[in-house]
Amino acid sequence: MPTKLLIANRGEIAVRVARAARERGIEVVAVFTEADRHSLHLRYADEAVALGDDPRAYLDIERIIQAARRSGADAVHPGYGFLSENADFAEACQRARLGFVGPPPSAIRAMGSKERARAAMTAAGVPVVPGGPASTLEEARETARRVGYPILVKATDGGGGKGMRRVDREAELAQVLERTASEALSAFGSRAVYIEKAIDHPRHVEIQVLGDREGRLVHLFERDCSIQRRHQKIIEETPCPPLPPATLEEMCRVALRAAESIGYYSAGTCEFLLDSNGAFYFLEMNTRLQVEHPITELVTGVDLVHEMLRIADGEPISIDVPRRRGAAIEARINAEDPKRGFLPSPGNIEQWLAPSGPGVRVDSGVAAGSEVSPHYDPLLAKLVVWGETRAAAVARLRRALSEFAVVGIDTNLGFLLDLSQDPAFVRGDYATDFVNLHPELGATALPQAALHDLGRALGALSLLDEKSEPRAPNGTSPWVLADRARLRER
């Protein structure tokens, strides 16, 4: 078992992994850039190592390896994003004799390029979305003509909804190809792009897989991630409302076959598009922990981060036959303004009131007093709810959102509250274009019930008066708790 774990990440996922490690008796090392000097994830670590002034330092393999060596860490967890799907990083950890809490580098590399992944899955008999290469404009035109418009131009090394644009006619192709390649270079360090057929009104459904080093693989059912903005997920749920049991069973079989074909172990996710006729197509495999993993945890009772740590230590996975109970929904709370096209909203969080109660979980990377940096993803927290039925989970989501309040920056809370009350969403009748088809969502201001509760709580604790600035309650803010982490300026 590792005795000291460096978490090569920030925000809510760094907090999430730190909690699991501490439960297993493992010391935690955090890393931070100057922009994150006062971030919440440092408060959950036993030690913290500075990476320098560059906000992009979380992507610097050598700096991360040096931080692990200096701290005496013997293992690294990459979280999601940043270096989590970088095979070179996994190999660098191996060379430095650091345990890597994730899949083997060969599996990361096999799925790291979308074109290589498509070829590997085709060879394994997994259905893929029609598509092909686009290394030049002429090649892109040939591929587009073959698969038929509309198409998607996608970054070969992309992920997280970035580096993806739709083309409806050939006259648009040249401009979109260049814009997508430029975005891919900025986000992923490569201009490589490829083309996929755009499937209209699909659902985005993924299968969670888990494997150990002995070759044993299980699935943990599906998640529906179809509620998206700009190709990025904002609501996820399980079970997928309209998915027939036979289709689910086949999707799970295909996902396990895909994982087995590349010698996969640890937690991973196979993503599919499900069309209106019930046919499904492989999109990609995310060789890491997903942002939306908590909903799987709530319905199966399996702690995926604990399982990753067990597998990295050579232990077998702890489950035999997957089972689930009830329904779970996750809403991503982002620092962004839905009224302005979901533009990021950095700034200082003056007050933060998160919901609680039965069946409610909030995984957060911020608190009152946190500074939301413009340099990173706008995700603040994940609101996750569970209910015996989907209807109960939707009602609980609506209640929890009405209790959530954030003061000081713009958030998507009003948008999410509107969405949770939309009749089509309540019925489970939606696809990946749902947000684009409902521009009226987001008119609701910050939930009044939450603001009322926040004002009442602040008044009861005498936190505000006419002559003083807002301040956090003594003894409850992470900024006034005794520091757990020892900051290392190396």
- List of domains in the chain: 4-101 (3.40.50.20), 130-197 (3.30.1490.20), 203-448 (3.30.470.20)
Is the distance from CB of 198 to CB of 169 less than 8 angstroms?
no
Q: Which amino acid is at 214?
A: E
Give the contacts of 370 (CB within 8 A, at least 6 positions apart).
38, 39, 40, 348, 349, 352
Cα of first residue to Cα of last residue in the chain, in angstroms, is 27
To the query of whether residue 165 is one of the catalytic residues in this protein, the response is no
Give the global pTM: 0.87
Q: Which of 21, 27, 24 is nearest to 4 (CA)?
A: 27
Is the distance from CB of 224 to CB of 236 less than 8 angstroms?
yes
**Tokens 């696809």 sit on residue:** 431
Q: CA–CA distance from 123 to each of 248, 253, 257, 261, 466 (Å)?
A: 22, 16, 11, 9, 69
Catalytic residue among 109, 191, 288, 361: 288
Q: Is 200 exposed, middle or buried (0-12, 13-18, 19+ CB in 10 A)?
A: exposed
- By DSSP bridging, strand 47-50 and strand 486-488 are parallel
If DSSP states are collapsed to H, E and C, what string results for the chain? CCCEEEECCCHHHHHHHHHHHHHCCCEEEEEECHHHCCCHHHHHCCEEEECCCCHHHHHCHHHHHHHHHHHCCCEEECCCCCCCCCHHHHHHHHHCCCEECCCCHHHHHHHHCHHHHHHHHHHCCCCECCEEECCCHHHHHHHHHHHCCCEEEEECCCCCCCCEEEECCHHHHHHHHHHHHHHHHHHHCCCCEEEEECCCCCEEEEEEEEECCCCCEEEEEEEEEEEEECCEEEEEEECCCCCCHHHHHHHHHHHHHHHHHCCCCEEEEEEEEECCCCCEEEEEEECCCCCCHHHHHHHHCCCHHHHHHHHHCCCCCCCCCCCCCCEEEEEEEECEEHHHCCEECCEECCEEECCCCCCEEEEECCCCCCEECCCCCCEEEEEEEEECCHHHHHHHHHHHHHHCEEECCCCCHHHHHHHHHCHHHHHCCCCCCHHHHCCCCCCCCCCHHHHHHHHHHHHHCCCCCCCCCCCCCCCCCCCCCCCCCEEECC
pLDDT number for residue 450: 57
Distance CA 448, CA 438 (A): 23
Q: Is 476 exposed, middle or buried (0-12, 13-18, 19+ CB in 10 A)?
A: exposed
Give the contacts of 439 (CB within 8 A, at least 6 positions apart).
none
Return averaged pLDDT per consecutive 10 residues of the chain, 490 residues in all: 94 98 98 96 97 96 98 98 96 98 96 84 85 93 95 84 88 95 85 91 96 97 95 96 95 94 96 92 94 98 97 94 95 95 95 98 97 96 98 98 97 96 97 92 61 55 45 39 51
pLDDT number for residue 120: 83
pLDDT number for residue 470: 42
Q: Which of 154, 158, 121 is nearest to 272 (CA)?
A: 121
**Tokens 């293992």 sit on residue:** 75
Q: Which amino acid is at 7?
A: I
pLDDT number for residue 296: 98
Q: Which amino acid is at 73?
A: A
